[in-house]
């Protein structure tokens, strides 16, 4: 039959939804007009759709112009291979998503099917389209819909956490890829940590990403970075134990959201408390008073001390890593473990100077220290009372922020762990280990750890075993990851409350789409009680009322503890209500983050929708799927299934050798085979259901076999004939399923019977009033919408109630003293706020402030990420260039850095490019010694001492037979050359040409080096410019000499050919360069943690912490680049590692000289020329 014209009901739609429908109705009509022609296509012709559309795209048509035909093709492919036809509202969702918007679609509206539309259209560009899910299960489940893409001639892949590199490469090379957000982020990080170009996975630029549950990924998780980390070698348990002990003794001031916004925050900073705790933004900050108190407490604990030297200068003593296992030392000199102590002078500073701006002198390190007094004595210091406020104020910046081992970030992190992270809410403790709880799903995350030391702080709080701290090697947030995509879109059921966040952070508009069927759910306003008695009585009343009517109930709570308390109370209630009636009462299940509960999750959810079923759950996003009967034995099947269906099933099991008896359902092999058969006929079942609801069944396809199955099923359903499977007893059990239409019919009938049972139960639940949702605590706006949305899916009836009391944790957090005064004034514990607007205003106000605080916290995190992201991209672009460069490209890369290296070296000796004094006043020998020492790894500051180590002023390479390391030493500046250079600069003469006076090389190598040194710069205008050009030429020539000597060594000791030697030299240089950038970037990330922790303290100095953070981060990154320039140039003169390779006895201790006639190496000169 012909498809119906597009029609979306406007009944009950908002003005915005009506506008969306009206704007896209012409496109929906264009898609519908193409359906009849597409239904006439054969499967082979439909599979050519992708190639045809790509040809048109290459011919100049736009994706927008191709949208109607592409979407119509996807709809037709889904009808054929899935038995599902996109509703018009789903097509509308696909159009909105392609426009780069966030589509708000209610629960049960078919977002998985909607995703096929924009993903297919975007994939036509050939750059790949990524459909991003929140977990591996959803990625694999949604990828089953990918059969639609295959039917259109496109490829589809799925990536899960267990995939190896080749599997992931193949999946990401497909046209459409299903992947989790975490897996996508970690793949990006691994690509930017690998040293092998062949292991790169994401080889195409990010083009299109469609994010499912976009609010969870791009908003809720945007502040949690994905981190590739490694554990530190040293466990700083002593620091965490001491910091936790100090944090417990500090006097905190916990401020509500309203209190933090007024002048009281500054009052606390001026001395009223040791720390300010802001639960709404999860921040904990030491005040000025707290810094001084912490110093006194650390000294009292015996882990730090203050001393004064003979000149009156103050010094801070801090015990760091223990040299033996044992407890922290107490004050005094009692025998105990030995420690390493740092003695740091306190610099003179102006009042109000920022802590991290201090540049204390390098500390004195003392080994085998017994205690702080012992360290003071050995350092020649007199003990000073740290309880004096002046002394504490002066020493606090050094002790708290002056070094990597300083206590500031430890104590501040412990304050957060003590006051802002709660057991059984944010984490649980099992077997002396802290295990995180996923706030989005309520499940435990055993392999996940908090970063920035928070995990160790929680371990110290719980007195659990403290693990080694992780240090970041690479990290990225979802914000930075998805902003790299040229086109981004997302789907969720709760987007409107976050439309400002989507617009500000991602430039994404939110579009609310109408439901396929009008909603019938009744949402009741919040009811807030003064105390718990009235609250619990109302909760019990609503629960029993629904269960008496045969309705399922979902109770949503805020914490694991609350879910277990309610479960126990409600279980006792149901026992008292139904236990004496002699009948089986309602079933109450508990689903929370406990492992024993999670293990039963699938079974609990499968039965959650049955009449008279209660579910007390701590599920911010509670999964509530459809219901399906479960049988555990053949006897149960015989009793529960209709006779024709059971006979068909029994015959099918006999076909595969199963013996239906008193035992289990069937042997494992038989049940696996039957499961596959059920999956195989699922499409036929979908076609049949589609035909029953007014669509059309399959056309073409498998021909007679499908037709016979459908005909048999339709005859049976219509009651026209009794059906008995006709299967020969000797038929081979491994015969193709297509050759056994009777067995396929049996599986189809089983599907249809299950569908019938589900419809029967659905009708019973609908008639009783549908699912009832009870929200048992104040929840954020989106969590409320998600919980309410579990009822009334796809136009079903249902209702939801919102109950709370004034002891609710969120109400106390945000209303604070206001609640106390209200309780005192009203007094009646069971008094309900009778006027519903009052309850709505109370809860709504708290939700608004919570949403505002979350938004502010996320904005702060995005600010921090916005500071770091440009630096991350710059470092990763450098790294990718190094990874993919060939020998010539790597040479160009290093030559460019050689110019910066020389300029930095000249600047260090006071030689600037413009306006510098004449060459006669320069410290040339010091400059040349610094450059040559960096190249050769010689720390001697004297050029004469360096040259004394050379033989006959020649470059040489030496092999150490013990380590297998081949070291090259280059004499860049022989004595005669230096003297000629001095005379030329003093007399303003032409500088001596380095190739004539420096390194003895073959003529071809000299010519190549000279060409490489000719950089596209302006003619030198000053002596400094001339010297820079001269040094650069010498340095580049030295790089060629070093590479030639290394290739000569590879040829001599390993018998490498010219090509093999060049490849090995390239790989060694690349590995050295990548090691440099990776090490510097890891150090940068570690220093960023200290800067971020110190940023909050600066707010009390009346400075904008983010402005200061930006300035210091910028300076830190400039140092990173400067260090990288130097280290990369030095790395180009790397030591060649030949360890583990057999070396001929006659070569032991061999020396390879430069390419002079004295060399006794037999390798031809032309075979050693670098490319």
> What was the pLDDT predicted at 817?
55
For residues 877 and 1076, give the distance between their C-alpha atoms in angstroms, rounded to a whole number: 15
Residue 122 has pLDDT above 90, yes or no: yes
Question: With bands split at pLDDT 50, 70 and 90, how would you rate the model's confidence at 674?
Answer: low
Give the highest mean pLDDT range of 91-105, 358-372, 702-716: 91-105
Mean pLDDT over residues 1038-1060, rounded?
79
Q: Any idea which of 308-312, 568-572, 713-717, 1126-1130 has the lowest mean pLDDT?
A: 713-717
Pairing mode, if any, of strands 208-212 and 487-492?
parallel
Lowest mean pLDDT among 252-266, 271-285, 318-332, 526-540: 318-332
Distance of alpha carbon 442 from alpha carbon 560, whole angstroms: 8
| Beta-strand pair 956-960/965-969 | antiparallel
Chosen CATH of 15-226+478-512 out of 3.40.50.300, 3.90.190.20, 3.40.50.11710, 3.90.1420.10: 3.40.50.300
pLDDT of residue 361 exceeding 90, the answer is: no
* Residue 69 in this model has a pLDDT that exceeds 90: yes
Is the pLDDT at 924 greater than 60, yes or no? yes
User: Between these two residues, 825 and 322, which has the higher pLDDT value?
Assistant: 322
Say if strands 101-104 and 509-512 run parallel, antiparallel, or are unpaired.
parallel
Phi-psi region of 582 (alpha: psi -120 to 50; beta: other; left: phi over 0): left
SS3 796: coil
C-alpha distances in Å from residue 1023, one per residue of 660, 907, 924, 1027: 98, 14, 12, 6
Given a cut of 50, whether residue 1151 has pLDDT beyond it is no
Q: What is the pLDDT of residue 586?
A: 73
pLDDT at 959 over 70: yes
Across residues 963-967, what is the average pLDDT? 74
Q: How far apart are CA 363 and CA 344, in angstroms?
A: 4
Query: Is 476:226 a contact under the CB 8 Å cutoff?
Result: yes
Residue 1010 pLDDT grade (very low, low, confident, very high; cuts 50, 70, 90): low
Segment 159-163 mean pLDDT: 88
How high is the pLDDT of residue 396? 84
CB 768, CB 550: distance < 8 Å: yes
pLDDT score of 315 more than 80 = yes
pLDDT at 1160 over 50: no
Tell me, what's the pLDDT at 1095?
65
Helices marked H in 421-549: 454-461, 478-482, 499-506, 532-548
- Supply the pLDDT for residue 662: 33
Q: What residue spans define the domains of the chain?
A: 15-226+478-512, 237-420, 520-627+770-853, 641-764, 885-1168
Rounded Cα distance, 226 and 477, in Å: 6
CB 748 within 8 A of CB 713: yes
Which of 119-123, 729-733, 937-941 is least confident? 729-733
Least confident of 597-606, 770-779, 829-838: 829-838
State mean pLDDT over 666-693. 56
Q: In whole angstroms, what is the distance from residue 908 CA to residue 737 CA?
A: 80
Please count the other Cβ atoms lying within 10 Å of the Cβ belonging to residue 1066.
Answer: 19
Mean pLDDT of the chain: 74
Query: Residue 600's pLDDT band (boundaries 50, 70, 90)?
Result: low
CA distance 411 to 297: 11
Q: Give the list of residues 6+ apart from residue 881 with CB closer than 8 angstroms, or none.
A: 889, 893
C-alpha span between 291 and 300 (Å, rounded): 14
The H or E element containing residue 474 is: strand 470-476
* pTM (two decimals): 0.73
What integer pLDDT is reported at residue 1073 of this predicted model?
86
Query: Among all chains, which residue has been given the structure tokens 């002079």?
Result: 1156
Q: Which of 3.40.50.9100, 3.40.50.300, 1.10.357.10, 3.10.510.20 would CATH assign to domain 520-627+770-853?
A: 3.40.50.300
Residues in the chain: 1171
Query: 3-class DSSP state for residue 747?
Result: helix
pLDDT for 247 equals: 92
Q: What is the pLDDT of residues 426-441, one digit of tens each?
A: 888 888 888 887 765 5
Q: Are 1058 and 1019 in contact (CB under 8 A)?
A: no
User: Residue 315 burial by CB count (10 A; 0-12/13-18/19+): exposed, middle or buried?
Assistant: buried
pLDDT above 50: residue 450: yes
Higher pLDDT, 649 or 1100: 649
What pLDDT digit, counting tens, does each position of 695-725 carry? 444 443 444 444 554 555 555 444 444 434 3
Q: Do domains 15-226+478-512 and 520-627+770-853 have the same CATH topology?
A: yes
> DSSP state, 950?
S
| Cα–Cα nearest to 254, from 274, 233, 228 | 274
- 606 pLDDT band, cuts 50/70/90, is low
Q: What is the mean pLDDT of residues 735-752?
A: 55
The confidence score (pLDDT) of residue 1012 equals: 54
- Residue labelled with tokens 């608004």: 848
Residue with tokens 């030095």: 1130
The per-residue pLDDT for 382 is 87
- Distance, in Å, from the CA atom of 28 to the CA atom of 89, rounded to the nearest integer, reads 9
Work out the average pLDDT over 216-245. 78
Q: Which residues lie across from 277 on neighbouring strands?
A: 254, 284
For residues 193 and 185, what is the distance between their CA atoms, to the nearest angstrom? 13
In DSSP notation, 1004-1063 reads HHHHHHHHHH--S-PPP-SHHHHHHHHHHHHHHHHHHHHHHHHHHHHHHHH---HHHHHH
- The whole-angstrom separation of Cα 768 and Cα 798 is 9
34 vs 667, higher pLDDT: 34
How far is C-alpha 973 from the chain's CA centre?
51
What is the per-residue pLDDT for 171?
Answer: 94
Q: What is the pLDDT of residues 126-142, one digit of tens each?
A: 999 999 998 888 888 88
- Nearest alpha-carbon partner for 240 in 458, 388, 546: 458
Q: Beta strands 427-430 and 433-437: pairing type? A: antiparallel
Cα Rg of the chain (Å, integer): 37
pLDDT score of 784: 82
CA 796/CA 766 separation, integer angstroms: 7
pLDDT of residue 1168: 30
- From residue 18, give the alpha-carbon distance in Å to each of 5, 789, 822: 18, 21, 44
Lowest mean pLDDT segment, chosen from 218-227, 505-514, 740-749, 1037-1046: 740-749
**Average pLDDT for residues 746-770, to the nearest whole number?**
73
Q: Look at residue 455 and tell me whether its pLDDT is greater than 80.
A: yes
* pLDDT at residue number 602: 55
CATH classification number, 885-1168, choose in 1.10.3060, 3.30.160, 1.10.20, 3.10.450 = 1.10.3060
Give 1156's pLDDT tier (boundaries 50, 70, 90).
very low
Take residue 880 and report the two structure tokens written for it: 């990718």
Backbone angles phi, psi at 969, to 5 degrees: -115, 130
> Who wins on pLDDT, 1138 or 658?
1138
pLDDT-based confidence at 400, cuts 50/70/90?
Answer: confident
- Residue 743 reports pLDDT greater than 70: no
* Structure confidence at residue 55 (pLDDT): 94
pLDDT(796) > 70: yes
**Half-sphere exposure in the Cβ direction for 504 (13 Å, CA):** 13
Model pLDDT, residue 693: 47
Residues 6+ apart with CB under 8 A from 562: 618, 776, 777
The arithmetic mean of pLDDT across residues 765-789, rounded, is 85
Asked if residue 921 lies in contact with residue 938, where contact means CB atoms within 8 angstroms, the answer is: no
The predicted pLDDT at position 751 comes to 67
Say what the pLDDT of residue 380 is.
86
Q: Would you state the pLDDT for residue 374?
A: 86
The pLDDT value given to residue 24: 86
Mean pLDDT of the 945-970 span: 67
Spatial contact of 85 and 76, defined as CB atoms under 8 Å apart: no
Between residues 497 and 55, which one has the greater pLDDT? Answer: 55
């Amino acid at each position: 039959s012909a498809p119906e014209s597009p029609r979306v009901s406007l009944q009950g739609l908002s003005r915005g939804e009506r506008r969306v429908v009206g704007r896209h109705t012409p496109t929906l009509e264009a898609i519908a007009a193409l359906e009849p022609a597409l239904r006439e296509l054969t499967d082979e012709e439909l599979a050519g759709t992708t190639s045809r559309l790509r040809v048109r795209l290459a011919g100049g048509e736009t994706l927008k112009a191709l949208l109607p035909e592409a979407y119509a093709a996807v709809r037709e492919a889904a009808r054929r291979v899935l038995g599902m036809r996109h509703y018009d509202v789903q097509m509308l969702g696909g159009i909105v998503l392609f426009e780069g918007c966030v589509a708000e679609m209610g629960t049960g509206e078919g977002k998985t099917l909607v995703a096929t539309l924009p993903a297919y259209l975007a994939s036509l560009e050939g750059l790949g389209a990524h459909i991003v899910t929140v977990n591996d299960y959803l990625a694999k489940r949604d990828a089953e819909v990918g059969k639609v893409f295959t039917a259109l001639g496109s490829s589809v892949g799925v990536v899960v956490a267990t995939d190896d590199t080749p599997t992931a490469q193949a999946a990401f090379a497909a046209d459409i890829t299903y992947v989790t957000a975490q897996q996508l982020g970690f793949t990006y990080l691994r690509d930017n940590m690998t040293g092998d170009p062949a292991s790169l996975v994401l080889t195409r630029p990010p083009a299109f990403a469609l994010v499912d549950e976009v609010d969870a990924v791009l908003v809720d998780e945007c502040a949690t970075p994905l981190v590739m980390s490694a554990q530190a070698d040293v466990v700083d348990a002593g620091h965490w134990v001491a910091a936790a002990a100090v944090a417990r003794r500090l006097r905190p001031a916990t401020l509500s959201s309203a209190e933090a916004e007024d002048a009281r925050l500054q009052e606390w900073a001026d001395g009223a408390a040791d720390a300010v705790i802001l639960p709404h933004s999860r921040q904990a900050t030491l005040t000025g008073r707290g810094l001084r108190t912490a110093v006194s407490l650390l000294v009292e604990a015996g882990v730090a001390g203050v001393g004064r030297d003979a000149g009156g200068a103050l010094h801070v003593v801090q015990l760091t890593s223990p040299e033996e296992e044992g407890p922290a030392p107490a004050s005094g000199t009692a025998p105990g473990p030995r420690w390493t102590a740092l003695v740091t002078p306190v610099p003179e500073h102006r009042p109000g100077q920022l802590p991290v701006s201090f540049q204390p002198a390098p500390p004195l390190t003392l080994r085998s220290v017994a205690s702080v007094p012992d360290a003071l004595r050995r350092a020649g210091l007199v003990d000073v009372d740290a309880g004096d406020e002046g002394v504490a104020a002066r020493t606090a910046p050094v002790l708290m922020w002056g070094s990597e081992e300083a206590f500031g970030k430890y104590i501040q992190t412990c304050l957060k762990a003590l006051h802002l992270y709660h057991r059984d809410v944010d984490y649980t403790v099992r077997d002396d280990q802290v295990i995180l709880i996923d706030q989005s799903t309520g499940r435990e995350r055993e392999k996940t750890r908090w970063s920035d030391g928070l995990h160790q702080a929680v371990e110290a709080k719980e007195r659990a075993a403290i693990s080694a701290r992780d240090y970041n090697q690479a990290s990225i947030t979802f914000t930075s990851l998805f902003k790299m995509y040229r086109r981004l879109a997302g789907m969720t059921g709760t987007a409107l409350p976050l439309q400002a966040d989507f617009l500000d952070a991602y430039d994404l508009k939110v579009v609310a789409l109408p439901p396929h069927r009008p909603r019938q759910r009744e949402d009741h306003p919040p009811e807030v009680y003064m105390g718990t008695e009235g609250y619990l009585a109302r909760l019990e009343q609503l629960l029993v009322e629904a269960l008496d009517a045969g309705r399922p109930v979902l109770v949503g709570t805020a914490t694991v503890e609350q879910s277990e308390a309610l479960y126990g109370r409600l279980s006792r209630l149901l026992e008292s209500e139904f236990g004496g009636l002699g009948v089986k009462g309602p079933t109450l299940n508990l689903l929370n983050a406990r492992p024993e509960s999670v293990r039963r999750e699938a079974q609990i959810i499968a039965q959650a929708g049955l009449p008279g079923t209660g579910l007390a759950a701590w599920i911010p996003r509670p999964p509530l799927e459809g219901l399906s009967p479960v049988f555990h034995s053949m006897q149960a099947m015989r009793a529960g299934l209709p006779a024709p269906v059971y006979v068909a099933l029994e015959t099918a099991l006999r076909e595969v050798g199963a013996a239906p008896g008193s035992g289990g359902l069937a042997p494992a092999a038989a049940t696996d085979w039957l499961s596959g058969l059920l999956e195989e006929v699922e499409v036929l079942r979908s076609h049949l259901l589609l035909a029953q609801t007014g669509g059309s069944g399959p056309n073409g396809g498998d021909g007679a076999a499908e037709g016979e199955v459908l005909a048999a099923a339709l005859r049976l359903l219509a009651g026209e004939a009794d059906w008995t499977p006709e299967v020969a007893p000797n038929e081979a059990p491994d015969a193709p399923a297509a050759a056994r239409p009777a067995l396929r019919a049996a599986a189809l009938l089983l599907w249809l019977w299950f569908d019938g049972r589900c419809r029967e139960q659905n009708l019973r639940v609908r008639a009783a009033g549908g699912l009832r949702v009870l929200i048992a605590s104040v929840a954020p706006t989106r969590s409320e919408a998600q919980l309410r949305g579990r009822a009334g899916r796809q136009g079903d009836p249902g209702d939801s109630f919102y109950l709370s009391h004034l002891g609710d944790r969120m109400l106390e957090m945000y209303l604070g003293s206001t609640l106390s005064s209200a309780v005192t004034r009203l007094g009646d514990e069971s008094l309900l706020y009778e006027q519903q607007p009052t309850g709505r205003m109370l809860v709504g106000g708290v939700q608004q402030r919570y949403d505002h605080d979350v938004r502010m916290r996320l904005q702060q995190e995005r600010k921090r990420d916005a500071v770091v992201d440009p630096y991350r991209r710059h470092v990763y672009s450098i790294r990718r260039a190094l990874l993919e460069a060939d020998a010539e490209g790597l040479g160009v890369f290093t030559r460019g850095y050689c110019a910066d290296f020389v300029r930095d070296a000249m600047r260090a000796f006071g030689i600037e490019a413009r306006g510098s004094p004449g060459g006669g006043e320069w410290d040339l020998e010091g400059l040349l010694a610094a450059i040559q020492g960096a190249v050769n790894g010689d720390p001697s500051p004297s050029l004469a001492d360096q040259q004394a180590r050379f033989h006959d002023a020649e470059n040489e390479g030496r092999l150490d037979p013990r380590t297998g390391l081949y070291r090259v030493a280059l004499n860049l500046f022989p004595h005669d050359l230096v003297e000629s250079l001095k005379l030329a600069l003093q007399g303003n003469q032409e500088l001596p040409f380095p190739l004539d006076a420096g390194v003895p090389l073959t003529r071809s190598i000299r010519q190549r080096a000279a060409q490489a040194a000719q950089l596209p710069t302006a003619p030198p205008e000053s002596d400094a410019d001339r010297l820079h050009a001269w040094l650069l030429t010498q340095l580049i020539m030295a790089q060629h000499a070093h590479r030639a000597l290394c290739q000569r060594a590879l040829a001599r000791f390993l018998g490498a050919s010219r090509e093999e030697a060049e490849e090995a030299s390239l790989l060694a240089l690349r590995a050295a360069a990548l090691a440099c950038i990776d090490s510097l970037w890891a150090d940068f990330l570690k220093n960023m943690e200290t800067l971020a922790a110190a940023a909050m303290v600066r707010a009390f100095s009346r400075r904008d912490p983010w402005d200061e953070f930006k300035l210091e981060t910028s300076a830190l990154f400039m140092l990173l680049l400067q260090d990288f320039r130097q280290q990369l140039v030095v790395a180009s003169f790397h030591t060649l590692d030949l360890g583990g390779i057999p070396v001929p006895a006659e070569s032991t201790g061999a020396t390879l000289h430069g390419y002079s006639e004295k060399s006794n190496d037999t390798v031809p000169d032309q075979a050693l020329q670098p490319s």
